[in-house]
Amino acid sequence: MIRINNQDEYQHYYTQALNEPNEFWSEVASSFTWRKPWTSVSTGDFENLDIKWFNGAELNITENCLDRHLKTQPHKTAIIFEPNNPDSATRTFTYKELHTEVCRAANMLKQQNVKKGDVVCFYMSMIPELLIGVLACARIGAVHSVVFGGFSSKALSDRINDCKAKVLITNDSGFRGTKEVLLKNICDKALETSPSISTVIIKKHSGSPVNLKSNRDFWWDELTNKITSSDCLPEVMQAEDPLFILYTSGSTGKPKGLLHTTAGYMVFAQYSFENVFQMKSDNDIFWCTADIGWITGHSYITYGPLLAGVTQVMFEGVPNWPDAGRFWQTIDKHKVTHFYTAPTAIRALEACDINLVKKQNLSSLKVLGSVGEPINVEAWDWYNKNVGHKNCPIVDTWWQTETGGIMISPLAGITNTIPCFAMSPLPGVQLKLMDAQGQVVEENGVEGNLVITAPWPSIARTIYGDHNRYKDVYFSDYKGTYFTGDGAKRDDNGFYRIIGRVDDVMNVSGHRIGTAEVEDALNQHPQVVESAVVGYPHNIKGQGIYAYIICLNKCEGEALKTELLDTVTQQIGAFAKPDKIQVVSGLPKTRSGKIMRRILRKVANNDTSDLGDTSTLLNPEIVEEVMKRNTL
Ligand code: WT7
């Protein structure tokens, strides 16, 4: 492993990774447990898109997450599980105990006939068995695909069908504050249209009643109770064997199943985790508040911290229940030192009673992190002052589902920070900005489209089942480079500030949602003839969703609004519900029939002083109507 300890070392390693990438990555990878060494560090490029890292090597990632630590720290706490209800008991797992649980679950999966290469889908709330189940898959070489528990049955079914999962693992129901999410019921509905699933395994959590379908549905506890062996030899995996599929939204079409493979992902997860967060003491405690249903929960709950052998908190609940002090109380309760959350949560809590944060001690904190969306100055200042007591570096970490791990970030306490800047790429990450003409922008003090010019170990290798789409989406805008979809500013000193998506992807409370997906959902409503969806600035969510719809009949009012919101909830999930819906008689279109989204965005932004050139519109008269902003 390479641990960067000061600014000079950052410079040194950045240069080494650029000029001698093989030496650099070999050294990073040297501390892992390999069953067989690699024959080449990296092959393939952004032209051939046949990217391989550590090819020829054999390994199992769970051997690196678990077994590796049993020799040195078997009794160190791996997971502190903080349940939704603060009065319920905390559950802890040492590395040894987690190893046992994972092995038992792995043996259970084997007994259910899960084989290397099979896809296992998870639809669970944030309970330890989610993490255990995911690692159990990796133990036996099954490919996990976690679907966030906030998705609808339809969205779950679509994802299962795309990756042809064979087994679905869920829990009876999950808690989010006072809300109970009936996960198993939602699975039942999804499985009406997902024939590939032959087995459903249900972890009992709430005790709420569920329907069991005979020969298909089994209780997790009954199956694992029958397992006598608490050891399961790790399946020996090839470096490029698939590890997981995770769905994310793009600017067009249905969600994409990004495929991540084993060795490169593993190496980058630990490398980025250790260098960004800089957990130095054995008593340091990490807490990432993400859900395992998103990439952050894969790389910085499930894998990174365990690979690094640290202690972490896993949280089932929500930031605002029983009150909006829950994060701060939990930090004190477990003496969290490294806290990683999203700007949305910070903004929401900033709007609550300040005494909820003031009355907590928070002196255990050493490092704060931010992820998922651009952080605004007010939120950054508030986080710095009220949570970090101006004593904790804030790492604003930029990355994506596709990148597998953190690409741009300060290294806590090692490199400088500037409010709202992700600062500099990690050594091994090569960035450039491109202008609208597709030319590289060399100078500083400019904005441009952010691209990555060379492969890194944890880049997603393909879109599952659609390599051409992978090529089109990421590598066709700027030939030979990976286009992130984000715009960024590089300041006079070369530091990066992420501006946000430049494509039709929205970022709503840190959730990535394609405008096309919401449009497709709205179009399912029988009254909707056509719809157009754009994001607009929202002071808590970062972006809100503004939908313009053309209706079949003249219809307005609350009833329609409720129905439309229900439709989106059913098609995608409640988190994708539009904040504003405007019924219009037409949408501004060019002569070639393309919706002029620029105008819709400006109207949604309430910034109509300069709509730009509207002379190419087929129906300029519609602009005035749209500008009235008559939302339901
Ligand atoms: C998009 C990726 C990375 C894990 C969670 C989101 C935005 C992410 C930042 C940041 C500004 C950020 C980008 C990116 N984003 N981190 N620190 N500052 N924007 O993963 O769901 O794949 O979304 O999130 O727009 O493209 P994701």
pLDDT in tens, 70-105: 999 999 999 999 999 999 999 999 999 999 999 999
Which amino acid residue places its CA nearest to atom 19 of ligand 1? 373
As beta bridge partners, residue 339 has 287, 368
Core vs surface per residue 151-190: b (16+ CB within 10 A) or e = bbbbbbbbbbebbbbbbbbbbbbbbbeeeebbbbbbbbbb
CB of residue 501 inside a 6 A radius of ligand 1: yes
- Looking at this protein, which amino acid is placed at residue 357? V
Asked whether 485 lines ligand 1 (CB < 6 A), one says yes
User: Which of 56-70, 140-154, 201-215, 550-564 is least confident?
Assistant: 550-564
> pLDDT tens for residues 228-261?
999 999 999 999 999 999 999 998 888 999 999 9
Question: What's phi and psi for 196, nearest 5 deg?
Answer: -70, -20
Closest approach atom of ligand 1 to CA 422: 17
Tell me: the pLDDT tens digits for 562-604?
A: 999 999 999 999 999 999 999 999 999 999 899 999 999 999 9
Nearest to 344, CA basis, from 547, 507, 535: 507
Q: To the nearest whole percent, how much of the chain has pLDDT over 70?
A: 100
| Res. 558: pLDDT tops 90 | no
Cβ of residue 249 lying under 6 Å from some atom of ligand 1: no
CA-CA-CA-CA torsion for 330, 335, 339, 343, nearest 10 degrees? 30
Instruction: Give the span between the Cα atoms of 149 and 348, in whole angstroms.
Output: 21
Whether the CB of 396 sits within 6 Å of ligand 1: yes
Higher pLDDT, residue 553 or 399: 399
Distance 399 CA to ligand 1 centre (A): 5
Strands 462-463, 496-501: pairing kind: unpaired
Is 296 close to ligand 1, i.e. is its CB under 6 Å away?
Answer: yes
pLDDT tens for 47-72 read 999 999 999 999 999 999 999 999 99
Of residues 503, 487, 485, 505, the one with CA closest to residue 545: 505
Q: Is the pLDDT of residue 44 over 90?
A: yes
Q: How far apart are CA 436 and CA 434, in angstroms?
A: 7
pLDDT of residue 611 exceeding 90: no
C-alpha of residue 71 to centroid of ligand 1, in Å: 37
Protein residue with least CA distance to atom 11, ligand 1:
374
Return the closest-CA partner of residue 317 out of 149, 202, 152.
149
What average pLDDT does the structure give for the chain?
97
pLDDT for position 361: 98
pLDDT score of 612 more than 90: no
Q: Is the CB of 397 under 6 A from ligand 1?
A: yes
Q: What is the tens place of the pLDDT at every residue in 526-543?
A: 999 999 999 999 999 999
Can you read off the two tokens belonging to residue 28?
């990073």
If you average pLDDT over each of 337-346, 589-598, 618-627, which comes out highest?
A: 337-346
Distance 156 CA to ligand 1 centre (A): 22
Give the type of residue at 85: N
Judged against a pLDDT cut of 90, whether residue 608 lies above it is answered with no
Q: How confident is the model at residue 544 (pLDDT cuts 50, 70, 90)?
A: very high
Strand duo 179-181 + 174-176: pairing: antiparallel
Closest CA to 593 of 615, 616, 568: 616
Give the orientation angle of helix 262-277 with respect to helix 21-29, to 10 degrees.
Answer: 80
Q: Which of 298, 398, 473, 543 to mutate to test the pocket of ligand 1 (most atoms within 8 A of CB)?
A: 398
| Ligand 1 atom with least separation from CA of 500 | 25
Q: In angstroms, what CA-CA distances link 221 with 113, 114, 203, 363, 412?
A: 17, 17, 7, 39, 41
Rounded CA separation 74/530 (Å): 59
What mean pLDDT is predicted for residues 147-151? Answer: 98
Report d(CA 551, CA 529) in Å as an integer.
Answer: 5
Mutational pocket test of ligand 1: of 273, 299, 452, 512, the residue with most ligand atoms within 8 Å of the beta carbon? 512
- Check whether 554 has a pLDDT greater than 80: no
The CA 241 to ligand 1 mean position distance, Å, reads 26
pTM value is 0.97
Q: Residue 362 C-alpha to ligand 1 middle, in angstroms?
A: 27
Spatial CB neighbours of 334, under 8 Å, sequence gap ≥ 6 = 80, 82, 90, 285, 287, 313
Is the pLDDT at 470 greater than 80? The verdict is: yes
pLDDT at 229: 95
pLDDT digits (tens, 9 = 90+) for 273-282: 999 999 999 9
Centre of ligand 1 from the C-alpha of residue 68, in Å: 31
pLDDT at 613: 83
C-alpha to C-alpha distances, 76 to 99, 111, 340, 461, 619, nearest whole angstrom: 12, 30, 21, 34, 67
Confidence of residue 213 (pLDDT cuts 50, 70, 90): very high
Q: Residue 157: pLDDT above 90?
A: yes
Whether the CB of 371 sits within 6 Å of ligand 1: yes
CA of 81 to the centre of ligand 1 (A): 26
Q: How far is the CA of 420 from the centre of ligand 1 (A)?
A: 13
Of 457, 371, 409, 424, which is closest to residue 278 (Cα–Cα)?
A: 409
Q: How far is the CA of 515 from the centre of ligand 1 (A)?
A: 16
Atom of ligand 1 nearest to the CA of 505: 25
CA of 381 to the centre of ligand 1 (A): 20
C-beta 500 within 6 A of ligand 1: yes
At 525, the pLDDT band (50, 70, 90 cuts) reads very high
- To 10 degrees, the CA torsion angle through 194, 200, 202, 208? 50
- The total number of residues shown for the chain amounts to 632
Residue 405, phi then psi, degrees to nearest 5: -155, 175
Does residue 615 register a pLDDT over 90?
no
